[in-house]
Copies of this chain bind each other. A is one copy, B any other.
Amino acid sequence: MADRHLIAVEPETRPAMHEVMVAAVEEAGGTIVPIERASALMFADPMAAGAFRGILDAGVNVEWIQLPYAGIETFAHNLDADHLWTCGKGAYAAPVAEWILTAILTSFRAIPRYVRSTSWQSQEGRDLRGAKLTILGGGGITDAFMKLIAPFECEVTVVRRSDTPYPGASHTMSTGDLHNAISDADAVIVALALTEETAGIIDGAALAAMKSDAFLLNVGRGGHVVTGDLVGALRNGAIGGAVLDVTDPEPLPDGHPLWELDNCVITPHVGNTAEMGLPLIADRVRDNVARWIAGDDLLGPVDVNLGY
Protein backbone atom coordinates (compact mmCIF):
# COMPACT_ATOMS: atom_id res chain seq x y z
CA MET A 1 0.00 0.00 0.00
CA ALA A 2 1.36 3.39 -0.99
CA ASP A 3 1.63 6.33 1.37
CA ARG A 4 -1.59 8.32 1.01
CA HIS A 5 0.38 11.55 0.62
CA LEU A 6 1.67 10.34 -2.76
CA ILE A 7 -0.64 11.56 -5.51
CA ALA A 8 -0.38 11.50 -9.30
CA VAL A 9 -2.00 14.19 -11.47
CA GLU A 10 -2.18 12.90 -15.06
CA PRO A 11 -2.30 13.34 -18.02
CA GLU A 12 -0.76 16.74 -18.82
CA THR A 13 -2.70 17.21 -22.04
CA ARG A 14 -4.87 19.96 -20.54
CA PRO A 15 -2.28 22.23 -18.96
CA ALA A 16 -4.66 24.63 -17.18
CA MET A 17 -6.46 21.82 -15.37
CA HIS A 18 -3.24 19.96 -14.63
CA GLU A 19 -1.77 23.09 -13.10
CA VAL A 20 -4.69 23.85 -10.75
CA MET A 21 -4.96 20.19 -9.70
CA VAL A 22 -1.25 20.01 -8.87
CA ALA A 23 -1.56 23.18 -6.80
CA ALA A 24 -4.65 21.82 -5.06
CA VAL A 25 -2.95 18.52 -4.17
CA GLU A 26 0.00 20.37 -2.70
CA GLU A 27 -2.22 22.80 -0.78
CA ALA A 28 -3.94 19.80 0.79
CA GLY A 29 -0.60 18.41 1.98
CA GLY A 30 -0.09 15.86 -0.80
CA THR A 31 3.11 15.18 -2.73
CA ILE A 32 3.06 14.88 -6.51
CA VAL A 33 4.63 11.63 -7.73
CA PRO A 34 4.62 9.63 -10.98
CA ILE A 35 1.66 7.29 -11.40
CA GLU A 36 3.84 4.22 -10.63
CA ARG A 37 4.32 5.37 -7.02
CA ALA A 38 0.95 7.01 -6.39
CA SER A 39 -1.79 6.00 -3.94
CA ALA A 40 -4.31 8.00 -5.94
CA LEU A 41 -4.82 9.36 -9.42
CA MET A 42 -6.29 12.80 -10.11
CA PHE A 43 -7.32 12.47 -13.76
CA ALA A 44 -6.69 15.89 -15.28
CA ASP A 45 -8.26 15.84 -18.73
CA PRO A 46 -11.97 15.12 -19.20
CA MET A 47 -11.43 14.85 -22.97
CA ALA A 48 -8.70 12.18 -22.68
CA ALA A 49 -10.83 9.19 -21.70
CA GLY A 50 -8.93 7.18 -24.31
CA ALA A 51 -5.71 7.58 -22.34
CA PHE A 52 -7.31 6.56 -19.05
CA ARG A 53 -6.80 2.79 -19.12
CA GLY A 54 -3.10 3.01 -19.92
CA ILE A 55 -2.46 5.48 -17.11
CA LEU A 56 -4.45 3.51 -14.58
CA ASP A 57 -2.70 0.25 -15.55
CA ALA A 58 0.62 1.88 -14.66
CA GLY A 59 -0.76 2.89 -11.27
CA VAL A 60 -0.13 -0.41 -9.53
CA ASN A 61 -0.65 1.11 -6.06
CA VAL A 62 -3.56 3.37 -6.96
CA GLU A 63 -6.52 2.86 -4.65
CA TRP A 64 -8.55 5.99 -5.40
CA ILE A 65 -9.33 7.73 -8.70
CA GLN A 66 -10.68 11.30 -8.86
CA LEU A 67 -12.34 11.98 -12.21
CA PRO A 68 -12.91 15.51 -13.50
CA TYR A 69 -16.42 16.78 -14.34
CA ALA A 70 -19.69 15.55 -12.91
CA GLY A 71 -20.82 13.42 -15.86
CA ILE A 72 -18.51 10.44 -16.38
CA GLU A 73 -20.14 8.53 -19.25
CA THR A 74 -16.92 8.40 -21.26
CA PHE A 75 -15.10 6.83 -18.30
CA ALA A 76 -17.90 4.56 -17.12
CA HIS A 77 -16.66 1.38 -18.86
CA ASN A 78 -13.52 1.55 -16.70
CA LEU A 79 -15.37 1.50 -13.38
CA ASP A 80 -14.49 -1.49 -11.19
CA ALA A 81 -14.88 -2.61 -7.61
CA ASP A 82 -11.12 -2.73 -7.01
CA HIS A 83 -10.79 1.03 -6.72
CA LEU A 84 -12.55 3.87 -4.98
CA TRP A 85 -13.98 6.29 -7.56
CA THR A 86 -14.99 9.91 -7.16
CA CYS A 87 -15.98 12.54 -9.69
CA GLY A 88 -16.79 16.25 -9.81
CA LYS A 89 -20.48 15.80 -9.05
CA GLY A 90 -21.80 18.55 -6.85
CA ALA A 91 -18.64 20.62 -7.34
CA TYR A 92 -20.02 22.39 -10.41
CA ALA A 93 -23.53 22.71 -9.12
CA ALA A 94 -23.57 26.44 -8.35
CA PRO A 95 -22.93 27.73 -11.90
CA VAL A 96 -25.20 25.08 -13.40
CA ALA A 97 -28.00 26.13 -11.05
CA GLU A 98 -27.46 29.71 -12.23
CA TRP A 99 -27.80 28.51 -15.81
CA ILE A 100 -31.16 26.92 -14.95
CA LEU A 101 -32.49 30.12 -13.39
CA THR A 102 -31.16 32.09 -16.37
CA ALA A 103 -32.93 29.76 -18.79
CA ILE A 104 -36.21 29.91 -16.88
CA LEU A 105 -36.23 33.71 -16.58
CA THR A 106 -35.13 34.09 -20.21
CA SER A 107 -38.08 31.96 -21.27
CA PHE A 108 -40.69 33.43 -18.93
CA ARG A 109 -39.72 36.98 -19.87
CA ALA A 110 -39.61 36.34 -23.65
CA ILE A 111 -36.01 37.54 -23.90
CA PRO A 112 -35.30 35.72 -27.21
CA ARG A 113 -38.16 37.62 -28.87
CA TYR A 114 -36.87 40.93 -27.57
CA VAL A 115 -33.26 40.16 -28.53
CA ARG A 116 -34.34 39.59 -32.12
CA SER A 117 -36.63 42.61 -32.33
CA THR A 118 -35.70 45.87 -34.03
CA SER A 119 -38.89 47.69 -33.13
CA TRP A 120 -40.96 48.29 -29.99
CA GLN A 121 -42.93 45.11 -29.29
CA SER A 122 -46.25 44.35 -27.66
CA GLN A 123 -45.98 43.26 -24.03
CA GLU A 124 -45.14 39.62 -23.40
CA GLY A 125 -43.86 37.79 -20.35
CA ARG A 126 -44.95 36.08 -17.20
CA ASP A 127 -43.92 36.11 -13.58
CA LEU A 128 -41.78 33.32 -12.21
CA ARG A 129 -43.16 34.04 -8.74
CA GLY A 130 -45.52 31.25 -7.77
CA ALA A 131 -44.97 29.20 -10.94
CA LYS A 132 -44.95 25.40 -11.03
CA LEU A 133 -41.58 23.85 -11.80
CA THR A 134 -40.68 20.19 -12.18
CA ILE A 135 -37.03 19.22 -11.97
CA LEU A 136 -35.77 15.77 -12.96
CA GLY A 137 -32.86 14.74 -10.76
CA GLY A 138 -32.16 15.02 -7.09
CA GLY A 139 -28.41 15.64 -7.06
CA GLY A 140 -26.11 18.53 -6.34
CA ILE A 141 -27.51 20.72 -9.12
CA THR A 142 -31.01 20.43 -7.70
CA ASP A 143 -29.64 21.24 -4.22
CA ALA A 144 -28.00 24.40 -5.54
CA PHE A 145 -31.03 25.36 -7.64
CA MET A 146 -33.34 25.04 -4.62
CA LYS A 147 -31.35 27.77 -2.89
CA LEU A 148 -31.66 30.14 -5.85
CA ILE A 149 -35.36 29.53 -6.47
CA ALA A 150 -36.44 29.79 -2.82
CA PRO A 151 -37.30 33.53 -2.89
CA PHE A 152 -39.67 33.01 -5.86
CA GLU A 153 -42.12 30.92 -3.83
CA CYS A 154 -42.59 28.43 -6.64
CA GLU A 155 -44.26 25.05 -6.36
CA VAL A 156 -41.32 22.75 -7.09
CA THR A 157 -41.74 19.05 -7.88
CA VAL A 158 -38.61 16.88 -7.82
CA VAL A 159 -38.61 13.65 -9.84
CA ARG A 160 -36.00 11.08 -8.91
CA ARG A 161 -35.42 7.34 -8.55
CA SER A 162 -37.28 7.15 -5.27
CA ASP A 163 -40.12 9.31 -4.01
CA THR A 164 -38.46 9.96 -0.64
CA PRO A 165 -39.32 13.63 0.07
CA TYR A 166 -36.67 15.96 -1.30
CA PRO A 167 -35.72 18.76 1.12
CA GLY A 168 -37.45 22.00 0.15
CA ALA A 169 -39.56 20.48 -2.63
CA SER A 170 -43.35 20.86 -2.64
CA HIS A 171 -43.68 17.34 -4.07
CA THR A 172 -41.28 14.45 -4.72
CA MET A 173 -42.24 11.80 -7.26
CA SER A 174 -40.47 8.78 -8.67
CA THR A 175 -39.43 8.47 -12.31
CA GLY A 176 -42.32 6.09 -12.94
CA ASP A 177 -44.70 9.00 -12.33
CA LEU A 178 -42.90 11.25 -14.77
CA HIS A 179 -45.83 12.14 -17.02
CA ASN A 180 -47.98 12.98 -14.04
CA ALA A 181 -45.19 15.07 -12.53
CA ILE A 182 -44.73 17.22 -15.63
CA SER A 183 -48.34 17.57 -16.74
CA ASP A 184 -49.05 20.86 -14.97
CA ALA A 185 -45.53 22.29 -14.85
CA ASP A 186 -44.79 25.72 -16.32
CA ALA A 187 -41.20 24.56 -16.81
CA VAL A 188 -39.59 21.11 -16.85
CA ILE A 189 -35.90 21.01 -16.00
CA VAL A 190 -33.66 18.04 -16.82
CA ALA A 191 -30.73 17.82 -14.39
CA LEU A 192 -30.09 14.08 -14.38
CA ALA A 193 -27.04 11.89 -14.82
CA LEU A 194 -27.15 9.98 -18.11
CA THR A 195 -27.69 6.27 -17.57
CA GLU A 196 -29.48 3.51 -19.46
CA GLU A 197 -32.56 4.28 -17.37
CA THR A 198 -32.62 8.00 -18.08
CA ALA A 199 -31.54 8.08 -21.75
CA GLY A 200 -34.41 9.34 -23.89
CA ILE A 201 -36.59 10.04 -20.85
CA ILE A 202 -37.99 13.14 -22.59
CA ASP A 203 -39.54 11.55 -25.64
CA GLY A 204 -42.63 12.33 -27.69
CA ALA A 205 -44.95 10.98 -24.99
CA ALA A 206 -43.33 13.09 -22.28
CA LEU A 207 -43.46 16.21 -24.47
CA ALA A 208 -47.12 15.50 -25.20
CA ALA A 209 -47.77 15.28 -21.46
CA MET A 210 -46.47 18.82 -20.95
CA LYS A 211 -48.62 21.95 -21.15
CA SER A 212 -48.58 23.68 -24.51
CA ASP A 213 -47.10 26.83 -22.97
CA ALA A 214 -44.52 25.03 -20.82
CA PHE A 215 -40.77 25.31 -21.33
CA LEU A 216 -38.24 22.47 -21.44
CA LEU A 217 -34.77 23.20 -20.06
CA ASN A 218 -32.01 20.62 -20.45
CA VAL A 219 -28.80 20.97 -18.51
CA GLY A 220 -28.27 17.22 -18.07
CA ARG A 221 -27.07 15.49 -21.20
CA GLY A 222 -28.28 15.70 -24.78
CA GLY A 223 -29.19 12.02 -24.67
CA HIS A 224 -31.95 12.66 -22.12
CA VAL A 225 -34.08 14.20 -24.85
CA VAL A 226 -35.12 12.49 -28.08
CA THR A 227 -34.06 15.29 -30.39
CA GLY A 228 -36.37 14.42 -33.27
CA ASP A 229 -39.37 14.38 -30.94
CA LEU A 230 -38.37 17.75 -29.51
CA VAL A 231 -38.10 19.30 -32.97
CA GLY A 232 -41.63 18.09 -33.69
CA ALA A 233 -43.01 19.39 -30.37
CA LEU A 234 -41.43 22.82 -30.89
CA ARG A 235 -42.70 23.01 -34.46
CA ASN A 236 -46.27 22.04 -33.70
CA GLY A 237 -46.58 24.00 -30.48
CA ALA A 238 -46.92 20.94 -28.21
CA ILE A 239 -44.71 22.90 -25.79
CA GLY A 240 -43.94 26.60 -25.52
CA GLY A 241 -40.19 26.49 -26.01
CA ALA A 242 -36.87 24.99 -25.03
CA VAL A 243 -33.49 26.11 -23.80
CA LEU A 244 -30.81 23.47 -24.26
CA ASP A 245 -27.32 23.56 -22.82
CA VAL A 246 -26.68 20.03 -24.07
CA THR A 247 -27.77 18.45 -27.34
CA ASP A 248 -27.81 15.15 -29.17
CA PRO A 249 -25.73 15.20 -31.28
CA GLU A 250 -23.32 17.53 -29.51
CA PRO A 251 -22.01 19.84 -30.72
CA LEU A 252 -25.19 20.46 -32.68
CA PRO A 253 -24.19 20.54 -36.37
CA ASP A 254 -24.77 23.54 -38.61
CA GLY A 255 -28.08 23.41 -40.41
CA HIS A 256 -29.77 21.30 -37.72
CA PRO A 257 -33.51 22.16 -37.48
CA LEU A 258 -33.14 23.24 -33.82
CA TRP A 259 -31.04 26.21 -34.95
CA GLU A 260 -33.93 27.51 -37.03
CA LEU A 261 -36.68 27.41 -34.41
CA ASP A 262 -37.55 30.74 -32.79
CA ASN A 263 -38.77 28.96 -29.66
CA CYS A 264 -35.48 27.15 -29.06
CA VAL A 265 -32.29 28.60 -27.64
CA ILE A 266 -29.06 26.59 -27.71
CA THR A 267 -26.28 27.45 -25.30
CA PRO A 268 -23.05 25.56 -26.05
CA HIS A 269 -22.62 23.48 -22.87
CA VAL A 270 -21.86 26.49 -20.71
CA GLY A 271 -23.88 25.65 -17.60
CA ASN A 272 -20.42 25.46 -16.18
CA THR A 273 -17.72 26.86 -18.47
CA ALA A 274 -14.10 25.75 -18.31
CA GLU A 275 -13.30 29.12 -16.77
CA MET A 276 -15.99 28.78 -14.08
CA GLY A 277 -15.15 25.13 -13.48
CA LEU A 278 -11.40 25.22 -12.91
CA PRO A 279 -11.52 26.79 -9.43
CA LEU A 280 -14.42 24.49 -8.52
CA ILE A 281 -12.67 21.24 -9.49
CA ALA A 282 -9.55 22.56 -7.76
CA ASP A 283 -11.61 23.02 -4.59
CA ARG A 284 -12.93 19.48 -4.92
CA VAL A 285 -9.42 18.01 -5.40
CA ARG A 286 -8.11 19.99 -2.44
CA ASP A 287 -10.98 18.86 -0.21
CA ASN A 288 -10.74 15.23 -1.28
CA VAL A 289 -6.95 14.94 -1.01
CA ALA A 290 -7.15 16.34 2.52
CA ARG A 291 -9.89 13.81 3.31
CA TRP A 292 -7.88 10.99 1.69
CA ILE A 293 -4.79 11.74 3.79
CA ALA A 294 -6.95 11.99 6.93
CA GLY A 295 -8.80 8.78 6.09
CA ASP A 296 -12.18 10.53 5.88
CA ASP A 297 -15.04 9.85 3.45
CA LEU A 298 -14.55 11.42 0.03
CA LEU A 299 -16.90 13.86 -1.71
CA GLY A 300 -18.62 12.95 -4.98
CA PRO A 301 -18.34 9.13 -4.73
CA VAL A 302 -19.29 7.22 -7.88
CA ASP A 303 -21.60 4.25 -7.44
CA VAL A 304 -19.92 1.61 -9.57
CA ASN A 305 -23.18 -0.28 -10.08
CA LEU A 306 -25.27 2.76 -11.01
CA GLY A 307 -22.47 4.16 -13.15
CA TYR A 308 -22.64 7.73 -11.81
Contacts and interface: CB of A to CB of B under 8 A. Distances in A.
B129 A94 contact: yes
Given A118-B259, A121-B268, A123-B273, A102 B109 contact: yes
A105 B103 CA distance: 9
Interface residues of A, number: 50
Given A102-B105, A106-B102, A125 B254 contact: no
A115 B118 contact: no
Given A98-B128, A106-B106, A128-B98, A114 B267 contact: yes
A51 B260 CA distance: 48
A274 interface: yes
A276 interface: yes
B119 A273 contact: no
A157 B188 CA distance: 35
Copies of this protein in the assembly total 2
B95 A129 contact: yes
Contacts of A106: 102, 105-106, 111
A251 B105 CA distance: 23
B273 A125 contact: yes
A148 to B, nearest CB: 5
B252 A120 contact: yes
B99 A109 contact: yes
Interface string A68-87: 00000000000000000000
A268 B121 CA distance: 6
A122 B171 CA distance: 38
A129 B254 contact: no
A5 to B, nearest CB: 32
Interface in A264-278: 265-270, 273-276
B105 A265 contact: no
A252 to B, nearest CB: 6
Nearest to A269: B123
Interface string A240-280: 00000000000111100001100001111110011110000
Contacts of A268: 114, 120-123
6 contacts: A102-B106, A115-B265, A119-B254, A120-B251, A123-B270, A126-B275
Sorted from nearest, which 3 A-B pairs have the closest CB atoms?
A120-B251, A102-B105, A118-B259
Interface of A: 94-95, 98-99, 101-102, 105-106, 108-112, 114-129, 147-148, 150-152, 251-254, 259-260, 265-270, 273-276
